[in-house]
Chains A and B, each alone.
Chain A
Amino acid sequence: MLRSKIIVIALLLIAPVLLNAQKRPANDDVDSLLKLSLEELMNIKVTSVSKSPEKLEEAASAIQVITQADIHNSGAKTLPEALRLASNLQVAQVNASQWAISARGFDNVLANKLLVLIDGRTVYTPLYAGVFWDVQNVMLEDVDRVEVISGPGGTLWGANAVNGVINIITKSSKETKGLLVEGAAGSNLPALGSLRYGGKLGDKISYRVFGTGFKLGNTLLKNEKKANDEWTMGKGGFRMDWDASEKDKISFQGNIYDAKPNPAGKDTSSVAKGDNLVALWNHVSSAKSDFQLQLYYDHTSRHYDNGLKEDLKTYDVDWQHRNQLGYRNEVTYGANFRIMNHNVTNLPLFGFYPSQKTLYLYSAFLQDKIILVKERLGFTIGAKMEHNSYTGLEFQPNGRLSYTPTKKQTIWAAVSRAVRTPARIDRDFSLLLAPGIAFVSPNDNFVSEKLVAYELGWRTQPVKALSVSLSSFYNVYDNIRSVEPGPPPSGLPVTFGNGVKGESYGIELAVISQLTNWWNLKGGYTFLKKDLSVKPGSRDSNKASAESNDPEHQFVVQSNVKLPRRVELGTLIRYIDKLPKPYVPSYLGLDLRIGWKLSKAIELNIVGQNLLDAHHSEFIPSSPSPREIERSVYGKVTFRL
């Protein structure tokens, strides 16, 4: 069965090569440009490379970047589907609206070791220190790139960036001018549509407004009946970018959304709503110094079908200043202040106490990037000091060394400490079996989970068209969450403790190659092994599984081929090894996209997803019931003016 799937895939990869024997020069290469007159050259739009991300350690980290082109080529409909393109992430679809996403293991629907930001705004919930993926949809057409950093980002990004950081960056409104209308529907996609308009106000201000919505189809129960868990979501928003002066750039963004996730397939769904506003001011004082000030307000609310309500308002101020001191030192420092106002309407037996809590977070960081030997050896040292409402002060230092022996290679090494601070579920959660009979009781003594990570990596570009990155890591964890039984005879109430410790190690290989003008191939392989144990004094009922379920191997290959007559063929193959407990068998997934640009204004796409099996399972959550993801096809029309 597996062999025949592999043969099908091999044929699909070779077919475009056979079909496209002639060479088609890309339009941006020098030879094509020389054929144009000066007037024609002056009419060409300059595609400037996206600026190197401010917080990124370019040379010394395990980063993969998902570009807009990758997203477009893959046929991904939603943000979690797009995240599959990073082979250093564990991404599993649980049901129509829920996903389990993590980096370097500890994957779970409530995965809590990954920090996710959208344009600088943190989308983590203090309820369980994770991400509600069912409300994080961005209009994929607006995404400029997604930076996926596996490894601790505690120094620059703060607590919760224990195993990785996902930074979703949308395009400036300068790049989304004009009208865009798209509509899609398919076998498991009742509807998807977006409308976006971008324009200019005078010379220096550009803006866009958009509305997008979808209804995603259901998944199947194990008995192959429909799970009735369709996911509906609508979102609208705007972005404005203002070149206030030669040295100042200001941008504003706002979003409002409404989603109806229904993972359990009940008659009434939950309702999750939110709105947010982000303002960013970037000032370049000189070639050697620039700073950035960001403010945001984020409001999310969830009403579960059982009556539980949760409302969160976040206010955040963030400042960062970069300074080039002399020729050797690039010093960056910053400060952040965040208020989270959390309000829960508890159920009689299930709740968070106190029901209303305000959490404060203050932090400051300092980092120095030092050139030890010009263009050969660099050393970055930094630390972040953070104060949170639960555990007080936390310290997250890191050191990175980067060695460039030849122009085409870099070897890097890093040591970092990162923490996952307590969330409301660790400290404030209470569950009763019946009035007066406690099942889960809060634990005031829950402390932060800790990680010390050792990383080693190698990056090389042996020929212009091939880029290889190999990263390895050895993580030492302590104080990972455990479930501690209560006193005998009932063992109730249980509490969450910090009773698990252990190590994990692995390697991440990523390759990017532009095989010919019309064929590019990206791929990656990740190997992960965890060795967790119960600490002395702990009686963890989960026996050190840390509620996580991770594959030992996974690989992802993405291919995009430009065929004649403006047709493109995109292929996405993923192999995910079995998950140990609860057991999910390994699977091979294949997505295909055929895109056709009828004209400059109209593009058609037909996308087949999960084509190899009629249905398959990716992850089994503790609730609701396990689901199977069906094979599906959809068609999309995009109209651009």
Chain B
Amino acid sequence: MLKSFFYLLLFSCFASTACAQGEQEANLKAAFIYNFTKYIDWNFDATETNKNDFVIGVIGNSPVTASLNEIAKENGVGYKRIVVRVFNSPEDIGSCNILFIPRRSPFSLRSILEKVRKGTLTISEEAGFARQGTAFNFVIINDKLKFETNLKAIASAGLKAGSQLLKLAIIVDNS
């Protein structure tokens, strides 16, 4: 994969707030998301649709989409191949195993969470979102990427997260 410089993003953006995230950061988050999938009990038999696909949805534009697509080329989850789907608005949100919510989204978190189906793990990257209901939320502390988790959100999605994952997380709901 060829490395591109931040000013390439600068040139190709047009008043887009996604400009501020570097490619390294996007790649890092995608790697985290892929690693999360190994520690979650997905209940694959319970969801009937997309039997052979593990769908990672992204609502709106984000540089993380490209990184996820790179991962999808040669990696899968269990026996399933990874498919990355971009949804243009909350109304378009279809069934997916993970929904990634990029920061500075033009849509409010509430409108997105209303349309998320059961069985979907929500992952965001904006301050405070885990507290507001996403299952995982990326934060940068001391220039390193960490993640918050909302245990209730994981449970209401009908999923279970392994203790190895939770011990690395910052738990925001003290349940």
Q: Which of B11-19, B43-51, B92-100, B153-161 forms part of the interface with chain A?
A: B11-19
Of B39, B70, B140, which one neighbours A30 at CB under 8 angstroms? B70
Q: Which residues of B contact A404 (CB under 8 A)?
A: 14
* Interface 1/0 per residue, A445-488 and B, CB below 8 Å: 00000000000000101001101010000000000000000000
Cβ of A402 and Cβ of B24 under 8 Å apart?
A: no
B3 CB within 8 Å of chain A:
yes
* Interface 1/0 per residue, A34-78 and B, CB below 8 Å: 101111011111111111100000110000010100000000000
Shortest CB-to-CB span from B156 to chain A, Å, is 24
Cβ of B31 and Cβ of A45 under 8 Å apart?
A: no
Question: A341-386: which have CB < 8 Å to B?
Answer: 369, 371, 375, 378
Known: A36-B31, A41-B35, A42-B168. A465 touches B4 (CB 8 A): yes
**Cα–Cα distance between A339 and B3 once the two chains are bound (Å):** 47
Of A42, A48, A49, which one neighbours B146 at CB under 8 angstroms? A42
Shortest CB-to-CB span from B168 to chain A, Å, is 6
**Cα–Cα distance between A51 and B21 once the two chains are bound (Å):** 9
B6 CB within 8 Å of chain A:
yes
Cβ of B32 and Cβ of A41 under 8 Å apart?
A: yes
B9 CB within 8 Å of chain A:
yes
Q: Which residues of A contact B31 (CB under 8 A)?
A: 30, 33-34, 36, 41
Q: Which residues of B contact A410 (CB under 8 A)?
A: 11-12, 14
Report the nearest A residue to B147, measured CB to CB. A42
Shortest CB-to-CB span from B76 to chain A, Å, is 12
Cβ of A44 and Cβ of B127 under 8 Å apart?
A: no
Q: Which residues of A contact B25 (CB under 8 A)?
A: 46-49
Q: Which residues of A contact B30 (CB under 8 A)?
A: 30, 33
Report the nearest A residue to B61, measured CB to CB. A375
Of B1, B20, B23, B168, which one neighbours A38 at CB under 8 angstroms? B168
Chain B interface secondary structure, helix, strand, loop or mixed? Answer: helix
Q: Which residues of B contact A59 (CB under 8 A)?
A: 13-15
Cβ of B104 and Cβ of A287 under 8 Å apart?
A: yes
Cβ of B20 and Cβ of A49 under 8 Å apart?
A: yes
Q: Which residues of B contact A46 (CB under 8 A)?
A: 22, 24-25, 28, 140, 143-145
Cβ of A30 and Cβ of B11 under 8 Å apart?
A: no
Cβ of A42 and Cβ of B8 under 8 Å apart?
A: no
Q: Which residues of A contact B140 (CB under 8 A)?
A: 46, 48
Q: Which residues of B contact A34 (CB under 8 A)?
A: 31, 34, 71, 75
A228 CB within 8 Å of chain B:
no
Cβ of B7 and Cβ of A514 under 8 Å apart?
A: no
Cβ of A31 and Cβ of B1 under 8 Å apart?
A: yes
A389 CB within 8 Å of chain B:
no
Cβ of A174 and Cβ of B143 under 8 Å apart?
A: yes
Cβ of B15 and Cβ of A30 under 8 Å apart?
A: no
Of B1, B24, B67, which one neighbours A47 at CB under 8 angstroms? B24
Cβ of B10 and Cβ of A517 under 8 Å apart?
A: no
**Cα–Cα distance between A512 and B5 once the two chains are bound (Å):** 9
* Interface 1/0 per residue, B135-170 and A, CB below 8 Å: 000001001111000000000000000000100100
A29 CB within 8 Å of chain B:
yes
Report the nearest A residue to B17, measured CB to CB. A287
A81 CB within 8 Å of chain B:
no
Q: Which residues of A contact B15 (CB under 8 A)?
A: 58-59, 330, 369, 371, 378
A581 CB within 8 Å of chain B:
no
Cβ of B27 and Cβ of A28 under 8 Å apart?
A: yes
Q: Which residues of B contact A48 (CB under 8 A)?
A: 20-22, 25, 140
Shortest CB-to-CB span from B106 to chain A, Å, is 8
Q: Which residues of A contact B7 (CB under 8 A)?
A: 65, 67, 467, 512
A408 CB within 8 Å of chain B:
yes
Report the nearest B residue to A39, measured CB to CB. B168
A246 CB within 8 Å of chain B:
yes
* Interface 1/0 per residue, A118-161 and B, CB below 8 Å: 00000000000000000000000000000000000000000000
Indicate the member of A25, A48, A65 with the most B CB atoms within 10 Å. A48
Q: Which residues of B contact A407 (CB under 8 A)?
A: 12
Cβ of B145 and Cβ of A512 under 8 Å apart?
A: no
Cβ of A49 and Cβ of B9 under 8 Å apart?
A: yes
Of A52, A67, A375, A459, which one neighbours B5 at CB under 8 angstroms? A67
**Cα–Cα distance between A42 and B140 once the two chains are bound (Å):** 10
Cβ of B144 and Cβ of A402 under 8 Å apart?
A: no
Cβ of A467 and Cβ of B8 under 8 Å apart?
A: yes
Of A30, A42, A49, A287, which one neighbours B1 at CB under 8 angstroms? A30
A11 CB within 8 Å of chain B:
no
Cβ of A41 and Cβ of B28 under 8 Å apart?
A: yes
Q: Which residues of B contact A30 (CB under 8 A)?
A: 1, 27, 30-31, 67, 70-71
B interface residues, Cβ below 8 angstroms from A: 1-15, 17, 19-25, 27-28, 30-32, 34-35, 39, 67, 70-71, 75, 104, 127, 140, 143-146, 165, 168
8 A-B contacts (beta carbon < 8 Å): A28-B3, A33-B28, A41-B28, A42-B145, A48-B21, A67-B7, A407-B12, A467-B11
Given A31-B70, A42-B145, A52-B19, 19 more contacts at CB 8 Å?
A30-B67, A34-B34, A41-B28, A44-B144, A46-B28, A49-B22, A58-B14, A59-B15, A67-B7, A174-B143, A330-B15, A369-B15, A378-B15, A402-B14, A404-B14, A459-B12, A464-B4, A467-B12, A469-B11
Lowest 9 A-B CB distances belong to which pairs? A49-B22, A33-B31, A49-B6, A28-B24, A30-B70, A29-B1, A26-B3, A38-B35, A30-B27
